[in-house]
Amino acid sequence: MLRSLKQLYGEKLGATDGEIGTIKDFYFDDLNWAIRYLVADTGDWLTGRQVLIPPRSLASPSASGKVMRVGLTRKKIEKGPSVESYKGFSRQFEEEYHKHYGRLAHPKNAAMGTVGPKPEREIHMHSARAVNGYLFRIGEETTGQICDFMIDAESWTIGQLVVRTGHRFSGKEMLIETKQVERISHDESTVFARPLEEASGQGPAEHLASIGIVL
């Protein structure tokens, strides 16, 4: 079952020995659409530090308002890497990250545990909060904006992007399969979908409707 990623922002987090803060953000890899890092805002506990936690150390997302349990101690999290100190998601950074937390790759997606060369890792790693609001483009036409991501809460992978089309208040939301995405450009604040086949005879609007599900 897929769940809205945006609805998890602000959820309280609890370690095995006490609360640790709230969910601030997620970092995902657009090579396999795996959620690789959860960003926890520790608030007053660690004087506002934002620490990176393996998503698969969490129990399944609970109902809104409940504390999400992390299978780690406060001490383990406190000594873990923070967003403020990281120098890019390089091979060295990820090796140190896995050395600290251990490799928690989900058995259904062992590829999540692999790391690539530094340039590739940095290009393909994205903040979900940052990408939220990016334009969504098919071919030469901008059809809407990214407004959410739908995730599989067991494998912690993004299955669909939510794109809002039309007016902010009267528009529709479409679910777009991640396989349709060609690339994400931070410089252009745009998510690009694969261009249409010339033989399809469809325009961007018809194509968007054919690959998406109106919510």
pLDDT averages per 10-residue partition of the chain, 215 residues? 91 92 94 92 87 84 68 91 67 67 50 40 80 94 95 92 82 92 94 67 48 47
Segments making up each domain of the chain, as ranges:
2-127, 128-214
CA–CA dist 158, 17 (Å, integer): 30
On the question of a common fold for 2-127 and 128-214, the answer reads yes
The pLDDT assigned to 27 comes to 92
| Eight-state DSSP code of residue 42 | -
> Is the Cα dihedral 202, 204, 205, 209 positive or negative?
positive
The pLDDT assigned to 122 comes to 52
* pTM summary value: 0.76
The pLDDT assigned to 63 comes to 47
CA–CA dist 205, 121 (Å, integer): 33
**Class for the domain spanning 2-127:** mainly beta
Domain at 128-214: CATH code: 2.30.30.240
Contact 71, 55 (CB under 8 A): no
